[in-house]
Amino acid sequence: MKKKNLFVTTTLVSALVFSAFAPTGFAHDDLDTSGLEKGEVTVFTNEQLESLALPKVEGSKNVSNLTEAAQVQIKQIREGVQNNTADVYAHKGFAYMGTHTANGGNGGVRVFDLKDPSNPVEVSVFANDDVPGTWQEKVIVKTVNTPHFKGDLAVVSVQQLSRTADTSGGFLLYDVTDPYSPKKLGFWEVYSETPGTHELYLETQGDKALVFASNPYADYYSHGEEKDFQIVDVSNPAEPETLWEFDPRMVEGVPDDFNGYNWKDPQGKSRAVFNHSVMVDDNAQYAYVSMWDLGTVILDIKDPENPVYLGRTEFASDQQGSAHSSTLAQGGNLLIETREVYVPVKPGYEQSYGYTRIFDIKDKANPKLLSEFKTDLVDNVEDGVTFANTVHDPKVRGNTLYLSHYAGGVYMVDITNPSKPVQIGQYTPDRGYVWGVFVDKNYVLASDMGQGLKVLTKNNKAAE
């Protein structure tokens, strides 16, 4: 694919292009429906992508010479049906892209060979027809070595388009040692009347492989029979074994009569509590569980069958919580927490879309708020704008924080001094809607819901 040079500019995309479909995600703090619109976006074909304006970027320091090397839409695996994309992950020179709900879901995971970053080649698809009526947002790939499996293991979230369907959500396990020919190994199911597993993480702990599954509303809909956060041993991928489930009553201040969803905070405000996502550190020593309005809960998971609650992040009384996802920085001493606030005007709270918070967690029992990073979009409160201006997911490489930000594309932030984060760059595709970002030593990947895979590389040559 032909390389595009980037113009240095501060201009932002000012509007989204709407289409007939409305991709749905979780209702988040609304339990009435199976999904809440994640914004309506146009899903472009590869031919239409060529007609878009050049992407825009501004950058200094280590991101000053980033170039969009490629953009490519995912293939139609069913004639006339164009799926759209969700999160993105990279492993050993291959990109793995999850898919969202457009046109009936079941888009599976798309695998791209990135040998030539300027020409990504989609080489396989998997997890697309295992469970009808579902969507496959999140995929994590790790090299594992257990008594039962040695190779590259992929774990894929499975969510129902309707929680009242006859199927179940959960996660799928695939052998992707040969990315050109993935092989299904197993399926772990969560309580059938929940939407399924939203986000998840995979990590090894000695000779064990563990999946950390976020199953929003499992506690509520199963009446406590299953919990929103579960640790699953997948050392034998054909026979996943649930080891432990998190009960929010472990957290100080959560009452014994907690009903699996609602919680009254110390100020008496009704708060939504459910597990949206989770990530763990290398070797699976600590888990960071995004529990929406309860904050990011920190657990010692050295013994995955008997985790210990350590502490959590807290919010000011006028802040909507919405702890969406997190990552670590500076050797695990910093926690980066993103808050997906998509309803910016809510009685009793500040008027703002979601922004990022940075914590010192050297003492994990007492996370210390160091700073709050707001982009130029979060205070742009407009009637009828949903999701477009909120932050989404964080990734860190070195002292640079990368934030996927829907209509804002990808923001790049210097966190060398975490008490004073400084924006040093931004990548904004024309009419883009960036869901996820992944940072590798050789490239930055962005998943655009309507436009597919974007590959950024460092351009060390003068623009031609």
What CATH number does residue 213 fall under?
2.120.10
334: in domain: no
Looking at residue 70, what is its pLDDT? 95
Q: How many CB atoms lie within 10 A of CB 22?
A: 15
State the burial class of residue 134 (Cβ atoms within 10 Å of its Cβ: 0-12, 13-18, 19+).
buried
State the burial class of residue 247 (Cβ atoms within 10 Å of its Cβ: 0-12, 13-18, 19+).
middle
The answer to whether 284 touches 210, Cβ cutoff 8 Å, is yes
361: in domain: no
**What is the per-residue burial (b if ≥16 Cβ within 10 Å, else e) of 279-292?**
bbeeebebbbbbbb
Please give the model's pTM, rounded to 2 decimal places.
0.92
User: Do strands 66-72 and 452-458 pair parallel, antiparallel, or not at all (unpaired)?
Assistant: antiparallel
Looking at residue 58, what is its pLDDT? 86
Q: How far apart are CA 310 and CA 134, in angstroms?
A: 35
Q: How many residues does the chain have?
A: 464
User: What's the order of all strands across the beta sheet hosting 452-458?
Assistant: 66-72, 452-458, 444-448, 434-439
391: in domain: no
Beta bridge partners of 174: 154, 184
The answer to whether 122 touches 105, Cβ cutoff 8 Å, is no
Residue at token pair 């000695």:
206
User: Do strands 286-290 and 7-8 pair parallel, antiparallel, or not at all (unpaired)?
Assistant: unpaired
Instruction: Please give the radius of gyration of the chain, using alpha carbons only, rounded to the nearest integer.
Output: 21
223: in domain: yes
The answer to whether 427 touches 410, Cβ cutoff 8 Å, is yes
Q: How many CB atoms lie within 10 A of CB 452?
A: 29
Nearest to residue 88, comparing CAs of 354, 400, 443, 335? 443
132: in domain: yes
Q: How many CB atoms lie within 10 A of CB 430?
A: 15
* Identity of residue 18: F
Looking at residue 14, what is its pLDDT? 26
Q: How far apart are CA 297 and CA 92, in angstroms?
A: 31
Q: How far apart are CA 135 and CA 196, in angstroms?
A: 10
Nearest to residue 152, comparing CAs of 163, 168, 140, 160? 140
213: in domain: yes
Q: How many domains does the chain have?
A: 1
Looking at residue 460, what is its pLDDT? 55
351: in domain: no
Looking at residue 6, what is its pLDDT? 36
Residue at token pair 């499992």:
218
Most distant pair of Cα atoms in the chain: their distance: 65
Phi, psi of 49, deg, nearest 5: -60, -35
> How far, CA to CA in Å, does 330 sit from each of 271, 327, 395, 399?
31, 11, 12, 7
State the burial class of residue 1 (Cβ atoms within 10 Å of its Cβ: 0-12, 13-18, 19+).
middle
204: in domain: yes
User: Do strands 323-329 and 334-339 pair parallel, antiparallel, or not at all (unpaired)?
Assistant: antiparallel
**What is the per-residue burial (b if ≥16 Cβ within 10 Å, else e) of 373-406?**
bebebbeeeeeebbbbbbbbbbbbeebbbbbbbb
Residue 439 is inside which H or E element, if any? strand 434-439
Phi, psi of 150, deg, nearest 5: -135, 120
Residue at token pair 């699976």:
284
Beta bridge partners of 246: none
Strand positions, DSSP E, 56-100: 56-59, 66-72, 85-91, 94-99
Q: How far apart are CA 357 and CA 199, in angstroms?
A: 20
The answer to whether 207 touches 235, Cβ cutoff 8 Å, is yes
Tokens standing for 143? Answer: 């090299």
What's the domain range around 61?
A: 7-317+425-458
Residue at token pair 């922004």:
355
Q: How far apart are CA 438 and CA 62, in angstroms?
A: 16
The sign of the CA dihedral 428, 430, 435, 436 is negative
The answer to whether 436 touches 86, Cβ cutoff 8 Å, is yes
Coil/strand/helix, residue 144: strand
Q: Which residues of the chain have pLDDT under 50?
A: 1-26, 32-36, 461-464
